[in-house]
Structure formats: structure tokens, C-alpha cells
């Protein structure tokens, strides 16, 4: 059966369009990972090797790009965070929890900073950020389910101690190493839980 040349041309254009769109999404993530936290449409197009007009053929504006990047990357990013085992000594769980959180935060540092830098202007990013914060709280409670029997203030306190903002402060504002930052957080979390009637030893 002879292939219809017109259909072959249409199919080829579709495939090029899909490749261009994927290249733009990938370029956006690569620029952010390299430290350009708020890349422009032109910078993304240049990185992807396509024209600026091609960018706006695929994305009406930066907001639609944010939605596409989120859909593309969210499962991969969230898979970096580990759900915990609810049994075992709390001190042991604290260490394992912080090992997992630290590895994920180190990997996603620029992505999270980029998101935070643009929350003020993007409903899409505010929605996805709130969704991810909710997932991270659920994850935290999977490590420490005993917290659910305590007042909300206890959960809020541990959520704050386990947050990226606390990690980023230790690592970048106070310029501490990974090991030292984890040790400080372990001591803070252990002390906080003990103060609220949860034995850690």
C-alpha cells in the first residue's frame, strides 16, 4: 500500500511540533537547574534551539509553560521524597527522614527557588506549590503518625522544621554543610517532639 504523501507531511509536522514543545519544556528545566531561576521566553527558546515564534506557537504565555512544566515534571520531582515506615524508634526515623529530605532538597534546590520567586505572579505556580506542600505534609506524617493525636500546633511546628525554607537557611544563608545541617535539624526536631510529650529515646 502506497503511503499518502500529504499524510506523511502532516505526520512529520506533528512530530516536529511535539519535539519542539518537549525541547522547550526541557530547556526551561535545564536553565533553572543551571541557576537561571526566572528564564525568559527568549532564553528558553534559544536554549531549545528554536525561534521565539515557535515558543509562542506552543505556549500562549509563561503561565501555560508553567502548567506544562508542572505536568511534565511533578511525578518525577515528588518521587524524590520517600514515604516512611511508621514503626521503629523515633530517633532512627528522624535520621532516615532527614536523610531523605536532604537528598531531595539538594536535588530540587533551584526548582523550588524558581517556583518561590514567581509565586507572586503565577496562579498556576501557587496552586502547584500548595498541592506539593500538602503532599509533603502527608509524607511527613507517614514518618511520624503519632503526631496526628497531638494538637495542630505540634504538626505545624514539625512541618516548619522539616521545610525547604529551614533547610535552605542552614545550607545557604548560614553556609553549613549537609551533614552539619542534618545534625542540627535532628537535634531541633528531637527537642521539639520531646517538649511536646513525644519521647524520642
* Measured distance CA(71)–CA(29) in Å, rounded: 12
What pTM was computed for the model? 0.88
- 7 has pLDDT over 50: no
In terms of Cβ atoms closer than 10 Å to its own Cβ (0-12, 13-18, 19+), residue 183 is middle
Q: How far is CA 87 from the centre of its chain?
A: 27
Structural domains of the chain, with CATH: 5-59 (1.10.10), 75-195 (no CATH)
- pLDDT (tens digit, 9 = 90+) per residue, 44-59? 999 999 999 999 999 9
Amino acid at each position: 500500500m502506497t503511503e499518502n504523501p500529504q499524510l506523511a507531511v502532516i505526520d512529520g509536522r506533528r512530530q516536529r511540533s511535539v519535539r519542539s514543545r518537549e525541547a522547550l519544556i526541557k530547556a526551561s528545566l535545564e536553565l533553572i537547574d543551571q541557576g537561571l531561576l526566572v528564564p525568559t521566553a527568549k532564553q528558553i527558546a534559544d536554549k531549545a534551539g528554536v525561534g521565539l515564534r515557535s515558543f509562542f506557537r506552543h505556549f500562549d504565555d509563561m503561565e501555560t509553560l508553567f502548567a506544562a512544566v508542572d505536568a511534565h515534571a511533578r511525578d518525577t520531582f515528588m518521587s524524590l521524597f520517600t514515604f516512611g515506615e511508621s514503626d521503629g524508634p523515633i530517633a532512627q526515623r528522624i535520621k532516615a527522614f532527614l536523610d531523605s529530605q536532604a537528598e531531595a532538597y539538594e536535588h530540587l534546590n533551584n526548582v523550588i527557588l524558581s517556583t518561590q520567586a514567581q509565586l507572586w505572579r503565577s496562579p498556576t505556580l501557587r496552586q502547584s506549590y500548595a498541592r506539593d506542600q500538602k503532599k509533603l505534609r502527608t509524607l511527613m506524617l507517614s514518618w511520624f503518625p503519632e503526631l496526628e493525636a497531638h494538637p495542630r500546633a505540634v504538626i505545624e511546628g514539625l512541618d516548619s522544621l522539616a521545610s525547604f525554607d529551614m533547610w535552605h537557611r542552614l545550607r545557604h544563608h548560614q553556609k553549613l554543610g549537609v551533614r552539619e545541617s542534618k545534625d542540627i535539624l535532628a537535634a531541633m526536631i528531637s527537642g521539639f517532639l520531646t517538649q511536646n510529650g513525644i519521647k524520642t529515646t
